[in-house]
Amino acid sequence: MLSALLSGCLLAPAPAPPNYYVIDYQQPGVEIGSSPAQPIPEVVHVLDGRVNRTYERRQIVQRSGGPQISYRATDLWGVDLGVAMADLLADSLRERTLFEEIQRHHRVQRPDLEVYSELRVVEHICCNNIEPQARVAAVLLLRRQADQTVLVEHRFERFDPLPDNRIATFVLRVNTILLEEAVEFGDRVITYYQRS
């Protein structure tokens, strides 16, 4: 009997290996937006983003309708979402040459401004006869470093349809949403400085 139990344990299938997914600035097909004639003469520090507690785990969150969510055991973020979002924002601002200097980490020169980001929702909506969607909600702020006065605020919540239920498709759509909204944020920054 003991040998039957031992052989049963030895023959049990190995658990599926985890799949890791990343958010990346390099994605073709997303327009980067226009650049100002001259960089805005300010030094900007892009802070690591905050992530709502529900979504700060490594497991990708899936919602199948209503208030119930589940954490995908084998589908994991390969990056810290707050850091990845801040890196994406910094890369977007640099690509457009919006500011004189854009810092991700403090350097010798004290920044004039900060970019603050908060990822409030990032979930894969699918299953149970629900049309698959990527839901992303976030807040992006440009504020004065000295007194925290908000100069530009961009809030968004998007429910983008997906062609299938695959997690890779969902992650690519989340990446596109974040890139598009980073461009919109940059456009709002340019508008603010053109009016000032």
Q: What is the b/e burial string over 136-154, where b = at least 16 CB atoms within 10 angstroms of the residue's CB?
A: bbbbbbbbebeeeeeebeb
Residue reference for tokens 């850091």: 83
In the chain, the domains with their CATH numbers are 44-195 (3.40.50.10610)
Question: Could you report the per-residue pLDDT of 7-26, keeping only the tens digit for each?
Answer: 555 566 777 899 999 998 77
Strand 150-161 relative to strand 40-46: parallel, antiparallel, unpaired?
unpaired
Global model pTM greater than 0.85:
yes
Question: Could you report the per-residue pLDDT of 178-190, keeping only the tens digit for each?
Answer: 999 999 999 999 9
* Whole-number pLDDT of residue 1: 54
The residue among 168 and 3 whose pLDDT is bigger is 168
Strand 69-77 relative to strand 19-21: parallel, antiparallel, unpaired?
parallel
Question: Could you report the per-residue pLDDT of 110-164, keeping only the tens digit for each?
Answer: 899 999 999 999 999 998 888 999 999 999 999 999 999 999 999 999 999 999 9
The beta strands (E) that lie in 68-194 are given as 69-77, 99-103, 113-127, 130-144, 150-161
Tally the C-alpha atoms within 13 A of residue 191's C-alpha that lie toward its C-beta: 10
Strand 113-127 relative to strand 50-51: parallel, antiparallel, unpaired?
parallel
